[in-house]
Amino acid sequence: MTPSKTLTVALNDRSYPIHIGPGLVEQAGALLLPVIQKPRVFIITDENVAQHYLAPLQSSLEASGIKCGHLILPAGESTKSFANLQLVVEAMLAAKIERSTTAIALGGGVIGDLTGFAASIALRGIDFVQIPTTLLAQVDSSVGGKTGINTAQGKNLAGSFYQPKAVLVDIDTLNTLPDRERLAGYAEVCKYGLLGDANFWDWLEQNGAQVLSGDSDATTEAIEVSCEAKARVVAEDERENGVRALLNLGHTFAHAFEAELSYSGALLHGEAVAFGTVLAFDLSVRLGLCPEKDADRVRAHFNSVGLMTKPPGQAQRIATDVLLGHMMQDKKVTDGTITFVLVRGIGQAFLTQDVTHSDVTATLEAALTV
Ligand code: NAD
Ligand code: GLY
């Protein structure tokens, strides 16, 4: 069996393939042999993913003559910490990795972001490969080389741009993914339609329910279109000096709530992105930039599939100035001004710094009091 589709992230001598299809964990040895320097890897995963996929991955790699070490971490957002960065780097060093050893991230965005960051600093940089096992990681975090951890000040505030050597998207791994996680990942799929591809959004309105129910054709289509969009954007603007910032649609709002709520697991990243996207549409409507009917369409689709369209109950106690304070620590703040991703309509995102704090506060207050 070969991957159903192979895309390329075109970055000259750092270009890499994204293989998409069923059964790729079982084919990992054959698929990775051409991209690794020496037949030696170190797998980082979490306890949930390990119980399903660590042994099949090791068998496949060993069948291709690749020696494997591994580390299993606790699952969840709080794993993306300085303490675990140290743990991963020191576990690899204790296993006597060499510069030619490849780290493998087997898991969701948490494991991918942490492993990529660790790989970028261990021995001043070793190769790494992404094997994403959540919908979110398959359509977004495994592609593009943003790695990192959370700090006390907020999400993803320490990290590096460090591209993987390959991405293996095995859609079969989604069969064991909890429904809540699949739905959260779907918010990042929707993002690609909402920011720049109105036809894909139309398709999602028709087919989103099938993607969420696990229909493999619909899921593969959604992943392929998302990865094509991500690969295109990363090739054009790897370091987020321009168009890549559009991928943060909804994220400025989302990160502020996550900093307050989510490291506990009360709020998943994709859940925050869902209502953060609705807030970005609401702010755009408030500023007279976007027709209200487009914001209504987003709300209607999210409601129909069960995605959050407003912050959860626990968020009611968070003061808007606290949320604004988190937004001011966003990586997109320049000279004290937040850069927002706003929309002129579905599929028409753009960047602007022309937003007053009072408009943001009013948008937050409306969402927190409904
Ligand atoms: P996650 O990595 O925490 O995974 C979600 C949960 O699903 C975990 O409990 C995990 O153990 C479990 N799981 C994973 N795969 C499974 C499977 N196949 N079967 C059963 N259980 C499985 O969360 P996530 O949503 O994948 O990633 C969120 C993180 O990604 C956030 O930290 C976010 O900041 C980051 N992110 C990064 C980028 C980027 O460009 N680097 C982009 C988007 C999001
Ligand atoms: N997830 C946003 C980015 O990769 O730029």
**What confidence tens digit (pLDDT) does each residue in 243-266 have?**
999 999 999 999 999 988 866 778
Determine if ligand 1 sits within 6 Å of the CB of residue 105.
no
Q: Is 177 in the pocket of ligand 1 (CB under 6 A)?
A: yes
Q: Is 77 in the pocket of ligand 2 (CB under 6 A)?
A: no
Q: Residue 46: CB within 6 Å of ligand 1?
A: yes
The single residue listed with the structure tokens 């969840």 is 76
Task: Give the pLDDT of residue 142.
Answer: 98
Q: What is the largest CA-CA distance in the chain?
A: 61
Mark residue 289 as left, alpha or beta (left: phi above 0; alpha: psi -120 to 50; beta: remaining).
alpha
CB distance 244 to ligand 2 below 6 Å = yes
pLDDT at residue 354 in the model: 94
pTM metric for this prediction: 0.96
CA distances 283 to 120, 303, 340, 364, Å, are: 37, 19, 10, 9
What separation in Å is there between the alpha carbon of 147 and the centre of ligand 2? 10
Extended beta strands in 145-249, E state: 146-151, 154-161, 167-170
Whole-Å CA distances, 329 to 59, 149, 267: 44, 15, 20
Q: Which helix (H) or strand (E) holds 40?
A: strand 40-46
Mean pLDDT for each 10-residue chunk of the chain (370 residues)?
87 98 97 97 98 98 98 96 98 98 98 98 98 98 97 90 98 98 98 98 98 96 98 98 96 91 82 97 98 98 97 88 90 86 98 94 89
Task: Give the angle 21-24-27 at the CA atoms, nearest 5°.
Answer: 135
Radius of gyration of the chain (CA): 20
Catalytic positions, written as ranges: 124, 146, 188, 230, 240, 244, 248, 251, 255, 269
Give the closest ligand to the alpha carbon of residue 50: 1
For the CA of 244, the nearest atom of ligand 2: 5
Give residues with Cβ within 8 angstroms of 113, minimum separation 6. Answer: 80, 141, 146, 147, 148, 149, 156, 159
- pLDDT at site 181: 98
pLDDT of residue 1: 61
pLDDT at 42: 98
pLDDT recorded at residue 259: 86
Atom of ligand 1 nearest to the CA of 80: 32
CA distances from 124 to 36, 44, 89, 148, 263 (A): 17, 18, 11, 16, 29
- Is 137:107 a contact under the CB 8 Å cutoff? yes
**Nearest bound ligand to CA 181?**
1
pLDDT at 262: 62
Atom of ligand 1 at shortest range from CA of 47: 11
Which one of the ligands is nearest to 241 CA? 2
- Dig out the tokens for 64 from the structure: 């291709």
Residues 6+ apart with CB under 8 A from 272: 253, 254, 255, 257, 258, 261, 262
107 in ligand 1 pocket by Cβ < 6 Å? yes
Q: Is the CB of 156 under 6 A from ligand 1?
A: yes
CA of 353 to the centre of ligand 1 (A): 30
Which of the listed residues 143, 161, 248 should we mutate to test ligand 2's pocket, taking the one with most ligand atoms within 8 A of CB?
A: 248
Rounded Cα distance, 354 and 256, in Å: 19
**Which mutation among 141, 163, 227, 230 tests ligand 1's pocket best, with the greatest number of atoms within 8 A of CB?**
141
The reported pLDDT for the residue numbered 329 is 83
User: Which protein residue has the closest C-alpha to ligand 1 atom 17?
Assistant: 177
Q: Is 146 in the pocket of ligand 2 (CB under 6 A)?
A: yes
- Contact (CB, 8 A) for 187 and 273: yes
Contact 193, 200 (CB under 8 A): yes
The verdict on the CB of residue 146 being under 6 Å from ligand 1 is yes
Rounded distance between C-alpha atoms, residue 267 and residue 270, angstroms = 8
Nearest residue to 108 (alpha-carbon basis) of 33, 184, 55, 166 = 184
Residue 22 in tokens: 């069923």
Q: What pLDDT does 263 receive?
A: 67
Give 280-328 pLDDT, tens digit per residue. Answer: 999 999 999 999 999 999 999 999 999 999 999 888 889 999 999 999 8
Smallest Cα–Cα separation from 223: which of 189, 252, 184, 265?
189
**pLDDT at residue 316, rounded to an integer:** 81
- Facing residues of 132 across strands? 107
For residue 15, the cross-strand partners are none
The whole-angstrom separation of Cα 148 and Cα 113 is: 5
Cα 277 to Cα 191: distance, rounded to the nearest angstrom: 8
Query: Residue 333: what pLDDT?
Result: 84
Go through the domains of the chain in sequence order and give each one's CATH number.
5-176 (3.40.50.1970), 203-367 (1.20.1090.10)
Out of 25, 111, 134, mutate this one to test ligand 1's pocket (max ligand atoms within 8 Å of CB): namely: 134
